[in-house]
Amino acid sequence: MAHFVPRASFSLPGSIPKTYFLGHHHSGANAIKGILNTINLVIECRDVRLPLSTQNPKLESLVAGRQRLIVYTKSDLCTDSPAATHTLRGLYGADNVLFWDKHRPGTTGALLRKLKNSARAIDALTGLRIIVVGMPNVGKSTLLNALRSAASPEKKAKAAKTGDQAGVTRKVGTSVRIVDSEEKGGVSGGIYLLDTPGIFQPYVEDGETMIKVALAHGIKKGLIADEILVDYLLYRMNHWNPGLYSRYCEPTNDVNEFLTAVAKRDGKLKAGGAANWQEAAARVLSLWRIGKFGRYVLDDLSDEAIRAHQHLLVNPHLSQNQAKKLQREERRRARTGD
């Protein structure tokens, strides 16, 4: 058998959208800005698989100068990238970063202890007021519910609605008390959290970033075809370890060959036995999102990539008004088929 050589690069289709900054994102950003003066601490959630791609220049400008704790969510999905956690801790300092996994109560407990320490430090009669921000579908509402449940196990109902698609939370929520003011341990005034809608970047120059965000369910399903997402995932798996999909086929650079193998093995077939590539693609993405095709960080965390990303945060490609104009043009083209 000839030695397998993965593709050196991924060819980005011209159909990849460059913005997903919707009306409720704009409204949410304004609402966050309006209440920041009442907030003691900002928790910014980022998907640990996309630690750079889910850092939003819009949010950076909103919360600049505020005390902030960065929570990397879904940490159970990056266990094949141990160097990533070390790099991210080094960027911000161990005291300002926490890796959170909803399946591991100990990570919720660690975060709760950090919040109680912050509450004791300010000793405010009104309590510690926290706002949870981040890109769409990075786990903000799930985190809030986990904290509330850990602090008050008797409270069974969810305080915030959750889902596996972007855009479940559409507006800033009401204050949710997660620690009572008389809680043993000396937290004065209690601890209160406010959930917020996911705020997308006004403009994304790099189509690869949009594909990565779509892989993590950060934009509406269907904006990028599942087959394109699987083709990119295949490209990345071939560089990580082609054995990740060995139960389906030998290493390949052909996404149709891969999807055909998935369809045959997992029963995603049309009448007559032909492979249903659409259903096979949906199956692949579902498996990847729960870690069945490796648990890797998708972003490049080399020194060069981090420097370029930090420069982009300070100097975004377009202003918000320019980005909104681009979005209107893209919507017009989608309607007219241009």
* Known binding-site residue numbers: 137-142, 198
Q: How far is it, in rounded angstroms, from Cα 88 to Cα 99?
A: 10
**Which residues neighbour 149 within 8 Å (Cβ) at sequence distance 6 or greater?**
155, 156
CA-to-CA distance for 158 and 60, rounded, in angstroms? 29
Which residues participate in the annotated binding site for GTP? Answer: 137-142, 198
Strand partners, 129: 192
Q: Classify burial at 60, counting beta carbons within 10 Å of its beta carbon; exposed 0-12, middle 13-18, buried 19 or more.
A: middle
| Locus of tokens 């509406």 | 220
Would you tell me how many other CB atoms lie within 10 Å of the CB of residue 337?
Answer: 5
Bridge partner residues of 72 (DSSP)? 46, 99
Question: For residue 309, which amino acid is it?
Answer: H
The answer for residues whose C-beta is within 8 angstroms of residue 15's C-beta and 6 or more apart is 224, 225, 228
Inter-residue contact 137 to 221 (CB < 8 Å): no
CB-CB contact of 111 with 44 (8 Å): no
Instruction: Give, rounded to a whole angstrom, the gap between the first and last alpha carbons of the chain.
Output: 46
What DSSP string runs through 140-208? HHHHHHHHHHHH-TT--S-SS---SSTTS--S----EEEE-TT-TTT-SS-EEEEE------S----HH
Asked if residues 14 and 102 have their Cβ atoms less than 8 Å apart, the reply is no
Beta bridge partners of 193: 130, 176
Nearest CA to 262 out of 275, 252, 273 is that of 275
